[in-house]
């Protein structure tokens, strides 16, 4: 019987420890299968990319990723090479000799994992035969006109064929195959139907039917146990896809999902309770200088301020030093991503700021890709006006500097009447006239193809946030992903996030939520919900999430209006913070980054693989009867400094964001280094390995948000 060594996981940044069995990786081959290997479609690509480094470090040359071949991705992301593993080399050669096109190489990401890529189009001539094989395996038929499902069948058939060739030449090594989402599920189904000697693991990052139901504004979480699943899938013409997903879930030796909220959903939608929760992580990079992330915030904020100067030229009657930048980003799913409740909250926030005569201005960016045909002319003109004005000022500065220099050399105090002549005044007046505009600053940076029916623009018209002068909340829709090569806002997404003050993601349907997680590791506070995996994860791990810059909106047990009011209060409270309070909060937020590091969260996958092997090969792999690693009973403590949260010490009206609170008592109460060390000492309690109670009845939401 093969047993792994007992591995005591070292504490990471003060995080708790647990003991797991280390797998004998030299005697194993690990294949991870996903449609998003080298092919970014959504968040699964981020999961695989960021996890690849720690997995490659653990498994070495016995770790392989399987995905689809696309020529443009192959040229830019993959370095072709020959397989060093004999079983993999033979499998690739055999399939290529039998009319397939299989590519092998290293994916040029951190960890440089091996990738096996199948050319789907090259093997499409087998589609009819493989449809028959799939019908015999699980009695699921795939319509001719569903191209995506047909592509997934080809991909799955090639995967199962490849795994068979590998196991035929594995020379005593055991194979683990980890499949992500329904797109890869056909390979799992066919592998089990053909009784291949492999251990299979399936991870759902979001159920297929769950996405469709939430997008239709159905009372999802309140009706989870009441849905007629077959009927709902059939009405949406995805019944065959649903069957593929459900069959993969039930065929797998181990079933995992990314969050507790998705586990509840999967139990009702797919009729199987996940065996392990495997939260998504990130590769956290620490700076040698403790406050370097604060410097990056200041630097990138200045770049966003430059864009705002151009966008609001002629209406720049607000102080940019007292302006906060909020943003929401992600797929354009108006309700699922919470853009609806966010816009309504912005309308209420605008009312509060105006009523209290606040001098704080909020500029809100919506970074959500939509159909456009070009940049907005008025937006481009604004940036051109700003740059022209900047060049004019620089020319005048050079001229002014020379005159001042010559005067001082002569030992004279310069006469301002001589320093600025009539021509200079004329140039200045022309510059001022060039910044005048008759129209309001545009609410979108691009020309929208479906302007009249666009949900965000339609809501903006309804609530009246048109960037008027009296409005304290300004809105900018940027319907395109950010890029450093953009002529409008030349910033990468990471740079943009670092320059903002708050990320707002009040999602209704968010199985995990990488956007708030990315904010956290960059030290940027964020808003999430208790219906997102990230929000539930933080509620479980952090005693006072708000004090650490994680604002969690209750969208599960509150009515839509109550949730909207709660979000408004979070936003309003944030606007009332002083600059000092925001700096303190960013330090606390960044301190949570270790909690999201794959070096910590990767252990959940290690546990899931061990469980998979013990079920697939019970006579060769033994697993101690322990439950998955949990964090039950462990929490980041509430910060001990006063104020524990900026919300707890605010005046009844907003303060200027540039005000530094120099009160001596507060300086004595808060010492950032002492508080950080206190947190590190407080969180070293060991993780509990208690069994997660089964059969516990879950509460569903009382209202639809």
Tell whether the model's pLDDT for residue 168 goes beyond 60. Answer: yes
Task: Report residue 181's pLDDT band, with 50, 70 and 90 as the boundaries.
Answer: very high
DSSP state of 412: -
What does DSSP say about strands 114-118 and 174-180: parallel, antiparallel, or unpaired? unpaired
The span from the CA of 21 to the CA of 623, in Å, is: 8
Summarize the confidence of residues 612-635 as an average pLDDT. Answer: 70
- Confidence at residue 675, expressed as pLDDT on a 0 to 100 scale: 64
- Confidence at residue 685, expressed as pLDDT on a 0 to 100 scale: 34
Summarize the confidence of residues 603-612 as an average pLDDT. Answer: 93
Q: Averaging pLDDT over each range in 544-553, 671-680, 687-696, which range is the top one?
A: 544-553
- Confidence at residue 656, expressed as pLDDT on a 0 to 100 scale: 40
Task: Report residue 20's pLDDT band, with 50, 70 and 90 as the boundaries.
Answer: low
- Taking only the tens place, the pLDDT of each residue in 347-372 is 999 999 999 999 999 999 999 999 99
The span from the CA of 68 to the CA of 158, in Å, is: 10
Task: Report residue 261's pLDDT band, with 50, 70 and 90 as the boundaries.
Answer: very high
Q: Of 158, 172, 179, 201, whose CA–CA distance to 86 is shortest?
A: 172
Tell whether the model's pLDDT for residue 152 goes beyond 50. Answer: yes
Residues 573/221, Cβ–Cβ less than 8 Å: no
Tell whether the model's pLDDT for residue 75 goes beyond 50. Answer: yes
- Confidence at residue 642, expressed as pLDDT on a 0 to 100 scale: 40
Angle between helices 260-269 and 533-541 (to 10 degrees): 130
- Confidence at residue 206, expressed as pLDDT on a 0 to 100 scale: 93
Out of 171-185, 377-391, 484-498, least confident range: 377-391
- Distances 434 to 154, 215, 428, 438, 467 between C-alpha atoms, Å: 60, 46, 10, 12, 20
Residues 414/401, Cβ–Cβ less than 8 Å: no
The span from the CA of 545 to the CA of 539, in Å, is: 7
Q: How does the average pLDDT of the chain come out, rounded?
A: 86
- Confidence at residue 249, expressed as pLDDT on a 0 to 100 scale: 97
Q: pTM for the whole thing?
A: 0.85
The span from the CA of 372 to the CA of 384, in Å, is: 21
Tell whether the model's pLDDT for residue 643 goes beyond 50. Answer: no
- Confidence at residue 655, expressed as pLDDT on a 0 to 100 scale: 41
Q: Of 131, 163, 157, whose CA–CA distance to 144 is shortest?
A: 131
Out of 109-113, 431-435, 574-578, 654-658, least confident range: 654-658
- Confidence at residue 21, expressed as pLDDT on a 0 to 100 scale: 59
Out of 156-170, 514-528, 629-643, least confident range: 629-643
Question: DSSP strand E in 488-604: where?
Answer: 502-504, 526-529, 550-553
- Confidence at residue 241, expressed as pLDDT on a 0 to 100 scale: 97
- Confidence at residue 648, expressed as pLDDT on a 0 to 100 scale: 45
The span from the CA of 243 to the CA of 250, in Å, is: 11
Task: Report residue 42's pLDDT band, with 50, 70 and 90 as the boundaries.
Answer: confident
301: how many CB neighbours lie within 10 A of its CB? 18
**Selected residue with higher pLDDT from 670 and 287:** 287
Q: Averaging pLDDT over each range in 152-161, 603-612, 678-687, which range is the top one?
A: 152-161
Tell whether the model's pLDDT for residue 147 goes beyond 90. Answer: yes
Task: Report residue 419's pLDDT band, with 50, 70 and 90 as the boundaries.
Answer: confident
- Confidence at residue 298, expressed as pLDDT on a 0 to 100 scale: 93
- Confidence at residue 67, expressed as pLDDT on a 0 to 100 scale: 97
Task: Report residue 423's pLDDT band, with 50, 70 and 90 as the boundaries.
Answer: confident
- Confidence at residue 692, expressed as pLDDT on a 0 to 100 scale: 39
Out of 197-211, 239-253, 367-381, 385-399, least confident range: 385-399
In the three-class reduction of DSSP (H, G, I as helix; E, B as strand; rest coil), residue 64 is classed as strand
Q: Tell me how far the alpha carbon of residue 220 is from its chain's centroid.
A: 22
Tell whether the model's pLDDT for residue 687 goes beyond 90. Answer: no
Task: Report residue 639's pLDDT band, with 50, 70 and 90 as the boundaries.
Answer: low
Tell whether the model's pLDDT for residue 5 goes beyond 80. Answer: no
- Confidence at residue 26, expressed as pLDDT on a 0 to 100 scale: 85
- Confidence at residue 678, expressed as pLDDT on a 0 to 100 scale: 59
Annotate 477-501 with DSSP letters as a single string.
EE-S--BTT-SSSB--HHHHHHH-S
- Confidence at residue 670, expressed as pLDDT on a 0 to 100 scale: 55
- Confidence at residue 361, expressed as pLDDT on a 0 to 100 scale: 97
483: how many CB neighbours lie within 10 A of its CB? 13
- Taking only the tens place, the pLDDT of each residue in 452-486 is 999 999 999 999 999 999 999 999 999 999 999 99
Residue 140: both structure tokens together:
């699921």
- Taking only the tens place, the pLDDT of each residue in 477-535 is 999 999 999 999 999 999 999 999 999 999 999 999 999 999 999 999 999 999 999 99
Out of 52-61, 290-299, 321-330, 599-608, least confident range: 290-299
- Confidence at residue 570, expressed as pLDDT on a 0 to 100 scale: 97
> Which residues fall within 8 angstroms of residue 118, CB to CB, at 6 or more apart?
66, 67, 68, 69, 100, 101, 102, 103, 154, 155, 158, 159, 162
Percent share of the chain, pLDDT over 70: 85
């Amino acid at each position: 019987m093969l047993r792994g060594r007992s591995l005591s996981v070292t504490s990471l940044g003060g995080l708790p420890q647990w003991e797991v069995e280390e797998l004998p990786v030299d005697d194993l081959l690990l294949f991870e299968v996903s449609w998003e290997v080298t092919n970014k479609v959504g968040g699964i690509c981020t999961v695989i990319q960021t996890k690849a480094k720690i997995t490659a470090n653990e498994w070495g040359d016995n770790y392989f990723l399987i995905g689809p071949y696309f020529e443009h991705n192959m040229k830019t992301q993959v370095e072709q090479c020959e397989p060093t593993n004999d079983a993999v080399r033979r499998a690739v050669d055999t399939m290529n000799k039998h009319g397939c096109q299989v590519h092998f190489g290293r994916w040029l990401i951190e960890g440089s994992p091996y990738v096996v890529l199948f050319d789907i189009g090259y093997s499409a001539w087998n589609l009819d035969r493989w449809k028959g094989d799939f019908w015999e395996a699980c009695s699921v038929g795939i319509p001719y006109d569903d191209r995506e499902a047909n592509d997934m069948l080809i991909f799955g058939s090639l995967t199962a064929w490849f795994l068979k060739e590998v196991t035929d030449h594995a020379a005593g090594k055991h194979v683990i195959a980890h499949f992500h989402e329904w797109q890869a599920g056909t390979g799992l189904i066919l592998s089990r139907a053909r009784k291949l000697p492999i251990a299979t693991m399936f991870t759902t990052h979001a159920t297929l039917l769950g996405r469709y139901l939430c997008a239709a504004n159905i009372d999802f979480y309140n009706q989870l146990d009441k849905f007629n699943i077959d009927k709902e899938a059939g009405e949406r013409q995805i019944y065959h896809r649903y069957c593929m997903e459900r069959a993969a879930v039930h065929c797998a030796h181990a079933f995992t999902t990314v969050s507790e909220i998705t586990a509840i959903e999967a139990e009702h939608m797919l009729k199987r309770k996940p065996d392990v929760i495997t939260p998504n992580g990130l590769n956290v990079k620490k700076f040698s200088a403790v406050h370097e992330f604060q410097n990056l915030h200041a630097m990138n904020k200045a770049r966003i301020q430059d864009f705002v100067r151009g966008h609001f030229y002629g209406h720049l009657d607000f102080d940019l030093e007292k302006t906060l930048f909020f943003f929401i980003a992600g797929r354009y799913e108006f309700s699922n991503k919470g853009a609806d409740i966010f816009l309504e909250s912005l309308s209420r926030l605008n009312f509060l700021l105006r009523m209290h005569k606040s001098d704080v201005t909020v500029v809100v960016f919506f970074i959500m890709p939509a159909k456009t045909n070009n940049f907005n002319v008025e937006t481009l003109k604004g940036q051109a006006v700003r740059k022209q004005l900047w060049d004019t000022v620089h020319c005048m500065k050079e001229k002014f500097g020379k005159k001042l220099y010559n005067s001082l050399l002569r030992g004279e105090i310069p006469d301002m009447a001589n320093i600025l002549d009539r021509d200079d005044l004329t140039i200045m007046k022309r510059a001022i006239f060039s910044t005048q505009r008759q129209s309001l600053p545009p609410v979108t940076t691009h020309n929208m193809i479906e302007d009249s029916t666009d949900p965000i623009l339609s809501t903006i018209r309804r609530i009246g946030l048109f960037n008027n002068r009296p409005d304290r909340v300004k809105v900018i829709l940027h319907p395109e992903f950010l890029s450093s090569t953009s002529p409008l806002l030349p910033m990468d997404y990471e740079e943009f996030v670092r320059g903002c003050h708050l990320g707002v993601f009040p999602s209704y349907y968010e199985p995990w939520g990488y956007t708030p997680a990315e904010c956290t590791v960059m030290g940027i506070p964020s808003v999430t919900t208790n219906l997102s995996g990230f929000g539930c994860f933080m509620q479980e791990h952090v005693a006072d999430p708000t004090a650490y810059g994680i604002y969690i909106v209750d969208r599960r047990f509150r009515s839509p209006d109550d949730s909207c009011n709660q979000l408004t209060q979070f936003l309003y409270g944030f606007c009332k913070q002083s600059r000092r309070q925001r700096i303190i909060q960013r330090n606390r937020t960044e301190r949570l980054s270790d909690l999201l590091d794959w070096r910590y969260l990767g252990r959940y996958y290690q546990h899931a693989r061990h469980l998979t092997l013990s079920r697939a090969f019970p006579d060769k792999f033994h697993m101690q009867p322990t439950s998955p690693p949990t964090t039950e009973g462990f929490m980041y403590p509430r910060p001990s400094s006063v104020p524990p949260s900026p919300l707890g010490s605010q005046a009844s009206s907003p303060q200027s964001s540039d005000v530094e609170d120099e009160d001596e008592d507060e300086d004595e109460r808060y010492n950032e280094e002492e508080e950080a060390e206190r947190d590190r000492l407080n969180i070293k309690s060991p993780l509990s390995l208690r069994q997660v109670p089964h059969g516990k009845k879950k509460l569903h939401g009382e209202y639809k948000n």
